[in-house]
């Protein structure tokens, strides 16, 4: 019976190329949120997908692939930081992501809001930033995040709580009363 289950899983599993096409931009954006500098992102994304390809036979087709990929990307970022032993650099890419046709006031507001997010993310350690980004910015459930980062569930909840507190504290201290989100 085991061979039947494996055969059904193989038929239901998307191709790696389809996974790459569907998830590349999500991984790229997540690497950006994790503070990977623009010039290092192509290598980090490539390494993430190379590792994913090597582990392709172990993916559970019943589970969404994004948490699995972000868990791999997290370990790539950690390894990259250890190698470089340098602080993360946040690059402002707001103008690239703004929609055309927005009035100038909306563009300025969007740029300011993104800047506040990037600056507040810098206050988090890498582990808190990973959990916060996966839960709050990618919309993944905490249990999936904990599993993909290979940490206990309560640790994931704790890191998320601490990250939210730090970001709220940063916003309280740095965003004036006249500014609005």
Regarding whether 108 and 55 lie in a shared domain, the answer is no
> CATH number, domain at 121?
1.10.10.10
The two tokens of residue 136 are 């709050």
- One domain for residues 22 and 59: yes
Band (pLDDT 50/70/90 cuts) for residue 100 is low
Over range 61-88, report the average pLDDT: 80
Q: Please tell me whether residues 5 and 78 are part of one structural domain.
A: yes
In this structure, the answer to whether residues 105 and 169 fall within a common structural domain is: yes
Q: Does residue 156 register a pLDDT over 80? A: yes
**Shared-domain flag, residues 119 and 86:** no
Q: What is the pTM of this model?
A: 0.60
Q: What's the rounded mean pLDDT across residues 7-25?
A: 73
Q: Return the pLDDT at 165.
A: 93
What is the pLDDT, as a whole number, of residue 153? Answer: 95
Question: What number of other Cβ atoms are within 10 A of residue 135's Cβ?
Answer: 21
Q: In this structure, are 28 and 1 located in the same domain?
A: yes
CATH of the domain at 69: 1.10.1740
Mark whether 106 and 168 lie in a shared domain: yes
The count of structural domains within the chain is 2
Q: Tell whether 130 and 84 lie within a shared domain.
A: no
Q: In this predicted structure, which of 129-133, 150-154, 170-174 has the lowest mean pLDDT? A: 170-174
156 in the same domain as 107: yes
Same domain, 113 and 168: yes
Decide which of 28, 60, 91 is a domain's last residue.
91
Domain boundary residue, one of 28, 63, 91: 91
Say which residue, 73 or 3, is predicted with more confidence.
Answer: 73
Give the whole-number percent of the chain exceeding pLDDT 70: 73
Note the pLDDT tens digit of each residue in 29-41.
999 988 888 889 9
Range of the domain at 107: 96-181
The reply to whether 86 and 3 lie within a common domain is: yes
Q: In this model, does residue 98 exceed pLDDT 50? A: no
Average pLDDT for 165-177: 82
pLDDT beyond 80 at 84: no
- Residue where a domain stops, chosen among 91, 109, 124: 91
- Tell me: do 8 and 36 sit in the same domain: yes
pLDDT value at position 120? 85
Half-sphere CA count of 124, side-chain side, radius 13 A: 28
Query: Looking at per-residue confidence, does 2 or 112 come out higher?
Result: 112
Mean pLDDT, the chain, integer: 79
């Amino acid at each position: 019976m085991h061979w039947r289950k494996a055969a059904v899983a193989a038929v239901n599993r998307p191709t790696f190329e389809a996974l790459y096409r569907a998830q590349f931009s999500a991984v790229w954006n997540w690497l950006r949120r994790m503070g990977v500098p623009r010039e290092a992102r192509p290598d980090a994304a490539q390494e993430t997908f190379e590792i994913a390809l090597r582990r392709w036979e172990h993916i559970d087709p019943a589970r969404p692939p994004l948490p699995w990929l972000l868990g791999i990307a997290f370990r790539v970022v950690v390894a990259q930081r250890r190698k470089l032993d340098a602080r993360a650099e946040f690059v402002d890419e707001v103008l690239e992501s703004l929609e055309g046709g927005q009035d100038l006031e909306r563009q300025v507001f969007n740029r300011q809001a993104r800047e506040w997010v990037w600056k507040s993310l810098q206050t988090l350690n890498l582990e808190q930033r990973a959990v916060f980004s996966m839960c709050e910015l990618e919309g993944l459930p905490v249990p999936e995040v904990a599993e993909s980062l290979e940490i206990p569930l309560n640790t994931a909840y704790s890191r998320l709580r601490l990250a939210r507190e730090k970001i709220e504290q940063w916003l309280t201290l740095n965003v004036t009363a006249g500014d609005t989100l």
